Structure 1
Amino acid sequence: MARPIVRWGAMFGLGVLWWWAVLRLALAPDAGVLEGAVAAGGWGLSLLPVHCVPKARAAGALGAGRWRAAWRGAQVTTASPLRRSDAGSGPS
């Protein structure tokens, strides 16, 4: 019970701090670097993705060892090389 209260309290406090900085930048002629840093930092945090899931649970996620296996050559292509124009006809 204490964790959600602390979390909501921290979010509310940081939100009030951000709004104070934004309003002070907009309305006070003597607003300075501190208010600008708080406002820019809060805005930057809002750009972070909030709908993230661990890679293992993400839809369409690739396996952890995919690149290692590719570099080791575990899956070699079976495509045939392109023929040159003077190579003659292909197999019939």
Structure 2
Amino acid sequence: MTPLEHIMGLMGPSYSEPVRRSMAQSILDKHAHELAEQIRQRYGKPRWEGDEPEYAYGYNAATHDAADLIDPKAQRAATTGDNT
């Protein structure tokens, strides 16, 4: 059972399947975004001054790339240029 199916199963049967799927996906997206933000915060963010990057303590580019893989907002921004 996928996490999406699990959350859908917790919802009342009075909702249609498309509504349950949409609500469950929204919950998963919010959780994934929050987790990605926690990862970014824990491992620092790059700080740019002029043309040279100055990295915050503990910054790890691979970790940030991994956070982007789980963050639906980062994925949308990469494909549409929008991060809302």
Q: Give your verdict on TM over 0.5.
A: no
TM-score (norm 1): 0.33
Higher RCO structure, 1 or 2 (CA under 8 Å, sep 6+): 2
TM-score (norm 2): 0.35
Larger Rg: 1
Bigger share in helix: 2
Bigger share in strand: 2
